[in-house]
Amino acid sequence: MCGICGEIRFDGAQPSPLVQARMMDAIAPRGPDGSGLVIHGNAALGHRRLSIIDLSEKARQPMVDAELGLTIAFNGCIYNYPELRKDLEAKGYRFFSHGDTEVILKAWHAWGTECVKRFHGMFAFVIHERDSGRVVMARDRFGIKPLYFARTGKSMRFASFLPALLKSGDIDTSINKTALHHYMTFHAVVPPPHTMVNGIQKLPPATIRVIERDGREEDTLYWSPPYERDPSMAKLSSQDWRDLVLDALRTAVKRRMVADVPVGVLLSGGVDSSMIVGLLAEMGQKNLMTFSVGFEAANGEKGDEFVYSDLVAKHFGTDHHQIFVPSERLMGALPGVFEAMSEPMVSYDNAGFYLLSQEVSKHIRVVQSGQGADEVFGGYHWYPPLADSKDVAADYAKVFFDRSHEKLGQHLNPDWMTDEDVSFNYVANHLRGPHADTPVDAALRLDSQVMLVDDPVKRVDNMTMAWGLEARVPFLDHELVELAAKIPPEEKLREGGKGVLKDAARLVVPSEVIDRKKGYFPVPQLKYVDGPYLDMVRDALTSKAANERGLFREDYLQQLFDSPADHITPLRGSELWQVGLLEMWLQTHGV
């Protein structure tokens, strides 16, 4: 787990070491254990290292394989690298290190673009071929590892962290209207290739891109599972599905223990993270470190779920760490939270993950986390209403979108509106695509392949890596997800959602954790923007920079300032926090 950056020139010039240095500084928190820079011909590759697998200098990056003429900068972890190494050794490849980075290099040389289909893991990597000048960029199936890029004249720069590209200079920092529409409508989800900055894009997940020396490029989408029933599994019972899910999750959790350092768990006390703890205990894991965070209550809403995380920790005898964050510490942390965001992310639990990661990183370098279970197994409240939908796009928008295109026209100034309803059109095209048997299948596919990538997964990566902490997500094991995509929706929607997963959980964790109201990562002070939080948001939205930018209508902002608690989105988010966070992110990163 690390941070990567670099530049590819298409005009014969050598990349600037000064530009690389600026980007390397920006990604330094992602890799506190070392740094490296290789400039060769038309390419520069930079790397900041967080040592997890093969802690020796032989595994330092960028890694150069002089025999094959390949250089790589890699962020992530390939969990099945020992098996792949054996396959490659059988083909005659010789290794000089013991980790997963060199396996990627040899795999590219042996199998070309097909190599990514063999990888179990999370990854973003860039490979430069010495002799051809060709460059290869790839991102894992769920975009767990980020990869941003910017085209500047005759070059392409890339980085794990969008602000690193901003710091490289010569970037078009104007606001992307399509991204703004998505942010304000699609609950802050901005699908690739867009970002809020016109001059910066992101590589889509499950994509491998080959860039020739002259700049020509070709993308290959290498993974897109069908959300359809498999006729050979038609007679499976609920118990059969339960057992298949439990076996697949066992494998996923076990895979993510591959490390040369201890691995802990972020324990919220919900079903998902509790199952991870239970399965690790079942495997005989001793002295497992677990971590939970809680906040002060606000407006009568509780700010922690310690009663459940404590129950799980006691049941399995973990080395548990309970972290309580008073309001004054939350307020003081927010500038760091904004700085750690690659893109503006409206969810309140960004602050929770940021402060939790700060504490966890004092004890451990790798954790497993429960993100993804709701999107994969149907845990959210908006899935059941879609079961009988006759218009899945319209019905999905009713339950998920923050506002309609028409309402957005009353909130944004006219210059910032798009002519078309770009968010609805994007979502409708995805939902109405082939290979989804039912409206619920279509929604689960959209959420797992789009929403999950640019909301929950992104915020966990950003906030953990701000403190040099690696987070692994077993519910996004691609084989587990392929299995889940075949499960009939009614098996997932049972028991208020995640029925089949809860069936599996009953064999692993205490029933008190399962038979309770679904919880979220509560940060009530940010949901009910008041007191110093209201002052902070108002100051940002009435600042000179905000007035010159002129994104929002003044009458709309005044309504929000007058009564923040009266303007809550369908997904229980604060409209004032949404618009304020965007402006604070733009100002933090000099956009």
Tell me whether strands 121-129 and 201-202 are parallel, antiparallel or unpaired: unpaired
pLDDT in tens, 18-68: 999 999 999 988 887 778 999 988 899 999 977 666 566 776 889 999 999
DSSP state of 318: -
Catalytically annotated residues: 2
Report percent pLDDT > 70 for the chain: 96
Q: Quickly tell me which residue has 């590589």 as its tokens.
A: 203
- Higher pLDDT, residue 329 or 540: 540
**pLDDT at residue 520 is higher than 60:** no
pLDDT band at 467 (very low <50, low <70, confident <90, very high): very high
Secondary element (H or E) of residue 493: helix 489-493
CA distance linking residue 503 with residue 498, whole number of Å: 9
Q: Quickly tell me which residue has 């009458």 as its tokens.
A: 555
Report percent pLDDT > 90 for the chain: 81
Which residues fall within 8 angstroms of residue 384, CB to CB, at 6 or more apart?
493, 497
3 state DSSP class of 361: coil
CA distance linking residue 49 with residue 579, whole number of Å: 35
pLDDT band at 1 (very low <50, low <70, confident <90, very high): low
CA distance linking residue 115 with residue 551, whole number of Å: 44
pLDDT in tens, 213-228: 888 999 999 999 999 9
Are the beta carbons of 272 and 373 closer than 8 angstroms?
yes
**pLDDT at residue 501 is higher than 90:** yes
The residues with which 73 forms a beta bridge, in sequence order, are: 126
Q: Exposed (0-12), middle (13-18) or buried (19+): which is 284, by Cβ within 10 Å?
A: exposed
Q: What is residue 132's predicted lDDT score, i.e. its pLDDT?
A: 92
Are the beta carbons of 150 and 200 closer than 8 angstroms?
yes
Q: What is residue 30's predicted lDDT score, i.e. its pLDDT?
A: 85
Helices 81-90 and 101-111: crossing angle in degrees, nearest 10, is: 50
pLDDT in tens, 529-564: 888 999 999 999 999 999 999 999 999 999 999 999
The beta strands (E) that lie in 167-244 are given as 201-202, 207-211, 217-221
Q: Quickly tell me which residue has 């901005």 as its tokens.
A: 190
Tell how many helices (H) and how many strands (E) occur in the chain.
25, 17
**pLDDT at residue 519 is higher than 80:** no
Secondary element (H or E) of residue 226: none
3 state DSSP class of 341: coil
DSSP assignment of 3-51 equals EEEEEEESSSPPPPHHHHHHHHHHTGGG-TTEEEEEEETTEEEEEEE--
Which residues fall within 8 angstroms of residue 517, CB to CB, at 6 or more apart?
none
Q: Phi-psi region for residue 435, left (φ > 0), alpha (ψ -120 to 50) or beta?
A: left
Secondary element (H or E) of residue 238: helix 238-255
**pLDDT at residue 188 is higher than 60:** yes
Cα three-residue angle 355-356-360, rounded to 5 degrees: 120
**pLDDT at residue 107 is higher than 90:** yes
pLDDT band at 392 (very low <50, low <70, confident <90, very high): very high
CA distance linking residue 219 with residue 137, whole number of Å: 9
**pLDDT at residue 583 is higher than 80:** yes
Are the beta carbons of 109 and 94 closer than 8 angstroms?
no
Are the beta carbons of 292 and 323 closer than 8 angstroms?
yes
Residue 384 CA from chain centroid, whole number: 25
pLDDT in tens, 153-171: 789 999 999 999 999 999 9
Measured from the Cβ of residue 57, the count of other Cβ atoms closer than 10 Å reads 8
Q: What is residue 489's predicted lDDT score, i.e. its pLDDT?
A: 98
CA distance linking residue 200 with residue 214, whole number of Å: 20
Residue 145 CA from chain centroid, whole number: 7
Kindly state the tokens that stand for 425: 């059109």
CA distance linking residue 253 with residue 279, whole number of Å: 7
Residue 323 CA from chain centroid, whole number: 23
Q: What is residue 523's predicted lDDT score, i.e. its pLDDT?
A: 67
pLDDT band at 300 (very low <50, low <70, confident <90, very high): low
